[in-house]
Amino acid sequence: MKNTFLLALCAVSLSAQAADTELNLYSARHYQTDEALYTNFEKATGIKIRRIDGTEAALLERIKSEGANSPADVLITVDAARLAEADAAGLFAPVKSQILESRIPANLRTNDWFAFSTRARVIVYNKLNVKAADVQTYESLAAPGLKGQVCMRSGMHAYNLSLGASLINHIGEAKTEEWARGLAANFARNPVGGDLDQIKAVAAGECGVAVVNTYYFARVMRSSKPEDRAIAEAVGVVWPNQKSTGTHINISGGGMLKNAPHKEAAVKFLEYLASDEAQVYFADGNNEWPVVPSVKVKNPALERLGPFKADAQPIGDISKSAIKAQMVYNRAGWR
């Protein structure tokens, strides 16, 4: 897709091209479909991306150890809690960009880092063993009637820390701890595996309900494998908290690093991620929702999941409560 924004990226001055002909990207996004994003940016700008892939923890430690001599220009990763950790360590530099400010809603950005795609944290349930009416909220998963029915990944995972941080901001720390204790008491097994493992466990009847990111379920829905189609048919999806705060969303995002040697290229790359082309690719390539409201996508899995009310809580506020969420989960025994 060509658009005026992308063409504007190409219209750089000769001096700017001479100054910034490369970009050093540290990425914790592990999706093969992102390759097209990088290739298209290089074609549009002439800026060569040199990428280092790794886990969030490894990349953050690397940036810290490199210090003022770090070659890293941009860090991109998933979830507000991880971006907030990097921000708290003083790794990001503030970015002033009219493009980013005009295209990305205020609740999905801070002064230092920006969301470029969203995912919803939904409730999946076994259609034979659990009624959708009984699991309409995150809070309902702590009800005694679901004892032995709940599967979850580790409470220390960033996705669940952000969910807990969101609940803390909505209902307070004490009530969130009460919820976490009830949730842990309902576990069908000790937390293990990723979101896809939880979906498979629900489909197999190992547990009745779980909380997962939508893009994992969308992958199963779009799969051509018979076993995946069977999973999708056995599992139902609930958009939690539609009558109150809305469904919690987490994000994929990034920011420019404080010691970036190619600051102009870094800003151009962040602005590119907010372009129509990149936003559509987030949706089509990895089943995520664009953050730019005007961008429309045609993804059969996302369309099948349907519309929902999203929690509009600012991601900056959520990230500030992530440490509290970890302490709450520790006290509740969800590790």
The count of domains in the chain is: 2
Q: Is residue 306 domain-resident?
A: no
Distance CA 183, CA 149 (A): 10
- pLDDT of 297 higher than 90: no
Q: Residues 29-36: what's their mean pLDDT?
A: 82
Q: Which residues pair with 289 in a beta bridge?
A: 118
Dump pLDDT digits (tens) for 141-156: 999 999 999 999 999 9
Q: Is residue 138 domain-resident?
A: yes
Dump pLDDT digits (tens) for 108-138: 999 999 999 999 999 999 999 999 999 999 9
Distance CA 294, CA 184 (A): 40
Question: Residue 69 sits in which domain range?
Answer: 4-117+251-299
Strand-pair category, 249-256 with 114-126: antiparallel
Q: What does the pLDDT read at residue 262?
A: 98
- Are residues 267 and 160 part of one domain? no
Q: How confident is the model at residue 19 (pLDDT cuts 50, 70, 90)?
A: low
- The structure's pTM equals 0.90
Q: What does the pLDDT read at residue 11?
A: 43
Q: Is residue 199 domain-resident?
A: yes
CA nearest to 28, candidates 65, 81, 66, 67: 81
Q: Is residue 52 domain-resident?
A: yes
- Are residues 152 and 287 part of one domain? no
- pLDDT of 5 higher than 70: no
